[in-house]
Amino acid sequence: MTQLNFCLGIHCHQPVGNFDSVFSDAVNKAYLPFLETLDEFPSIKISLHYSGVLLQWIEQHRPEFLSLIERMIKRGQIELMTGGFYEPLLPIIPDCDKVGQIKKLTCYLTERFGCHPTGLWLAERVWEPHLPASLRDAGVTYTVVDDTHFKIAGVGEPDIFGYFLTDELGKGIAIFPISTTLRYTIPFQVPEVTIDYFRSIATEAGDRLIVMADDGEKFGIWPETNRHCYTDGWLRRFFETLEANRDWLRLLTFSEALQQCQPRGQVYLPTASYFEMMEWAMPAHTILHYEDFVNKLKECDLYDRYKMFVRGGFWRNFFVKYPESNNIHKKMLRVSARVQHAAESAPDHPAVHDAQDNLWQGQCNCAYWHGVFGGLYLTHLRSALYNRLIRAETALDTVLHKNRNWIDVTTCDLDCDGQEELLVETPLENLYFKPAQGATLFEHDFKPAAINLIDTLRRREEAYHQRIRDPAPALPPNPESTKSIHDLLRPKEADLEKLLHYDWYPRVSLIDHFLNPATTLDAFSACQYAEDGDCVNQPYQARVEKGRNRCVLEFSRDGHLYHGQAIVPFRIVKTLTIRPTRSGFDADYTIQNNAPLPMRTLFGIEFNVNLLAGNAPDRFYFVTGQSLAHPALNSRGTSARATDFGLVDEWLKIKVHFVISSAATLWRFPIETASQSEGGFERIYQSSVLLPHWSLDLAPEQKWSVSMSYRIETLEQ
């Protein structure tokens, strides 16, 4: 009689910063019903991973869930796995944080459940070959990745049916390959399909092992899966089928498999993740090219035989694809270095522990990338990362700064793009400038509210946008995914294609625009207009004058206006005064026409402000002295002769307040993206753009000036 070993693993996680309602929904619709169903089948063993984020939420809101887990552990049905506490991508965080986050979850599980987990759930299975050293340092003896990782290393069937050993310079761990086949049959096909597959690979020797491990959300949260798994009873039938085949199908936890089965051999895995992730990590046009290739291979009947040699990109290039992610990442690294520094000088200071925990929360992977889930596109997840990182910095301030009235100015290449940034930091805020790209303000962290006010994801082409534009053509048939998430994507609302405008520059603040006088609000907001100047993303000279109680930044550029054939040289100087006791800055602008011709242009200064909700009663625009009925932050409009205006957030209790010395025309409009999520294509409010602008007509040598104050004010409680 043929036999087979089967390891079943389930991983459950919700991002730091996700809404309570989503946690609650996930527990009610997926995590709890899964476990309750499993509870009826005590012979079915399983390895489970819950991220620390999720466990903390469950402990606070649904403690009975933990008691159920505990009971099932006690009877030997469940093995718990560890991981980075806040589910970071391990390769992209410093080694001390890798080890620290893993030990934190291991300690939590040991204290709460009395178990001693040594298996690690590798977030998103993002593997790099030097990981085993940190894993071993953190007490890990095994982890689980995809069979894709193995196949691209040259391990084919039947060798793949087992587990392997790997090491980084002699520090070794075991690794299990997750079956891609099973990721698509469970729970999307009738249980018999899985059992038939099991039968097809079972052997007389019975020494083969197959692994299914995937997200717990597939069992109740992904579209249609709650009805499918529970109402229609798929999960119960699946467990019944497993039980019915117990005579030849042995269910083992991963730890049991390590004890009872021999490793298949050694292997070294290249940088990899599951194959979908490697596709998403590529540039949009490369994804389309890749999809062409895969389709052609399928047409030529070559794909199945040779797909081990076909693969997409490398995870870390999400930082290149989305500089906004790179910005969070490099900021996180800066905070991590400062936490380490503080931990060395004051290891027992409670503020250092607080900073470390906030740093670790700020490493949660979900908003660092974007694939079939919203991820980076979701402003509430991105802002949660900034929130935790800013909180960590604020905690460190109390340790690292003796007096309360300080201002630090740092010049460094924060984002590793080869150009230096200018970082101004005070007890109240961080103001980060890019002299090399328009002397723009690309990050403004207001510490009392722990928010980066500028945090905006620019509108860019995504490979799937062609499906929004042209939803009609059927997708090429994918035999592996008859009902899976990847084929279910449909727009959540009509007319999403109207959002498909792409920004040619980063949506940050203090952007100096010289628009063609004919530019309209509609054209500008669609980013389809004529920029006559060359200041938006070009280098400025920077001069810093730092006193004890203020710092003055002078940014200047000899720019050009392109009027048809004529080229008008001009000089722009923007001087910012920043004080440690007041938020924001005072800005003095001077523009001088250096041409022997007149200089005619619309000069505007763009600000992007993201207060997280585009259409909420407690968040709105104001323009003092004008009869505006508090328009919503996702509204579009023009205010003539504005001098005092801004945005109010009654929830955060802050007001972003602009006062200008010379009345401007104010355009406002929202940046909204169209992105995919597991529920379909959706509109996401990214920020509110404010463009105060002036019509200039300067004679040769004529100068024009304006002053502006930009403040974040705290509303009365």
Q: Which residues bind a second copy (CB under 8 A)?
A: 91-94, 128-130, 152-154, 156, 165-167, 169-170, 172, 174, 262-263, 265-271, 281-283, 286, 289-290, 292-293, 296-297, 300, 302, 305-306, 308-314, 316-317, 319-320, 326, 330, 333-334, 337, 413, 416-418
Q: Name residue 144's beta-bridge partners.
A: 121, 176
Q: Least Å distance between CB 313 and a second copy?
A: 4
CA distances from 38 to 74, 78, 229 (A): 14, 10, 12
3-state secondary structure of 714: strand
Instruction: Note if the bond before 569 is cis, omega within 30 degrees.
Output: no
Q: Smaller CB distance to a second copy: residue 80 or 133? A: 133
CA nearest neighbour of 276 among 6, 679, 8, 676: 676
Q: Residue 216 and residue 1: Cα distance in Å, rounded?
A: 33
SS in 3 state form for 551-574? EEEEEEEEEEEEECCEEEEEEEEE
Q: Residue 109 and residue 584: Cα distance in Å, rounded?
A: 44
Q: Least Å distance between CB 269 and a second copy?
A: 7
Q: Residue 134 and residue 169: Cα distance in Å, rounded?
A: 11
Give the containing element (helix H, strand E) for 101.
helix 95-113
Residue in 97, 124, 279, 397 annotated catalytic: 124
Q: Least Å distance between CB 30 and a second copy?
A: 33
Measured from the Cβ of residue 677, the count of other Cβ atoms closer than 10 Å reads 18
Residue in 215, 291, 417, 588 annotated catalytic: 215
Q: Name residue 165's beta-bridge partners.
A: 174, 266
Q: Smaller CB distance to a second copy: residue 33 or 129? A: 129
With beta carbons less than 8 A apart as the criterion, state whether 47 and 213 touch.
yes
Q: Smaller CB distance to a second copy: residue 267 or 698? A: 267
Q: Which residues contact 461 (CB under 8 A, 6 or more apart)?
A: 284, 285, 502
Q: Smaller CB distance to a second copy: residue 124 or 128? A: 128
The question of whether 417 is a catalytic residue gets the answer no
Q: Least Å distance between CB 371 and a second copy?
A: 15
Measure CA of the first residue to CA of the last residue in the chain; give whole Å: 74
Q: Residue 490 and residue 628: Cα distance in Å, rounded?
A: 37
Q: Least Å distance between CB 508 and a second copy?
A: 18
Measured from the Cβ of residue 390, the count of other Cβ atoms closer than 10 Å reads 25
Q: Smaller CB distance to a second copy: residue 7 or 690? A: 7
Calculate Rg over the CA atoms of the chain: 28
Q: Residue 549 and residue 579: Cα distance in Å, rounded?
A: 6
Residue 262 one-letter amino acid = Q
The question of whether 503 is a catalytic residue gets the answer no
Q: Least Å distance between CB 267 and a second copy?
A: 6
**Edge-to-edge order in the sheet of strand 421-425:** 408-412, 421-425, 429-434, 440-446, 451-452
Q: Give per-residue burial for 76-93: e unless 16+ CB within 10 Å, then b.
A: ebbbbbbbbbbbbbbbbb
DSSP state of 98: H
Q: Which residues contact 546 (CB under 8 A, 6 or more apart)?
A: 407, 409, 552
Q: DSSP for 411-435, please give it.
A: EE-TTSSSS-EEEEE-SSEEEEEET
Q: Residue 17 and residue 568: Cα distance in Å, rounded?
A: 49
Q: How many CA atoms lie within 13 A of 474 on its CB side?
A: 3
Determine the angle formed by the axes of helices 234-244 and 32-39, rounding to 10 degrees.
30
Give the containing element (helix H, strand E) for 672.
strand 654-677
Q: Smaller CB distance to a second copy: residue 416 or 567? A: 416
Q: Smaller CB distance to a second copy: residue 170 or 347? A: 170
Report, as residue numbers or ranges, the catalytic residues.
124, 215
